[in-house]
Amino acid sequence: MNRFALPLALFALLVVVLAISIRHSPDKGIIISPLVGRAAPGFALPSLTDAQHKVSSADLKGRWYLLNVWGTWCVECRAEHAMLVEVGHSGVIPIIGLDWKDEDDHALEWLAQLGNPYQAIGVDHDGRTAIDWGVYGAPETFLVNPQGVVVYKLVGPLTRESWTQDFLPRLARPASAGL
């Protein structure tokens, strides 16, 4: 039984050291995207709401925008939706939706019931565009500047706190113009 004592003690020590390190980490819970500070990936996707047009990154150059990755199958997307509607109605910044691996009829029904905060919605049925953006899971929201550079990425639902602390200060407009 003594032959197990040393490995067990070393394992316990390792657990304690890791727990202390995680507790005191200033970046705990933050996933830093390799896209931040780089050009946003280009895309041209079918529009969810207008079959005659595409939603294209080329049309977004020259202005700030949020790209919000969502799906009707995503529980946290429903949790953030009211905040997205509020931000969308504020007019501070256009929100572009990326409907990820979803059924079009489900997405249209969702928007009819909960409101549509998006200026445009691209449909990403095969998930290729989400992969290009480095999406881990929905919801995720990217802030892109007028030069087409990703300024910030939020993994998880947009909340009033993340909106006021993480997004508004990064915009060219004064924070007082926001919600």
Structural domains of the chain ordered from first start: 35-177 (3.40.30.10)
pLDDT confidence bin for 19, thresholds 50/70/90: low
**Mean pLDDT on 80-89:** 97
User: Global pTM?
Assistant: 0.79
Helices of type H across 95-168: 104-114, 128-132, 160-162
Sign of CA dihedral 141, 142, 146, 151: positive
Quote the mean pLDDT of the chain.
87
pLDDT of 30: 54
pLDDT of 25: 52
The answer, yes or no, to whether residue 26 has pLDDT greater than 60, is: no
- Gap between the Cα atoms of 162 and 160, Å rounded: 6
Q: Which long-range contacts (CB under 8 A, 24 or more apart) does 27-32 make?
A: 31/136, 31/153, 31/155, 32/153
**Mean pLDDT on 22-29:** 54
pLDDT confidence bin for 92, thresholds 50/70/90: very high
pLDDT confidence bin for 4, thresholds 50/70/90: confident
**Mean pLDDT on 146-153:** 95
The answer, yes or no, to whether residue 110 has pLDDT greater than 70, is: yes
**Mean pLDDT on 59-87:** 96
Whose structure tokens read 């549509």?
116
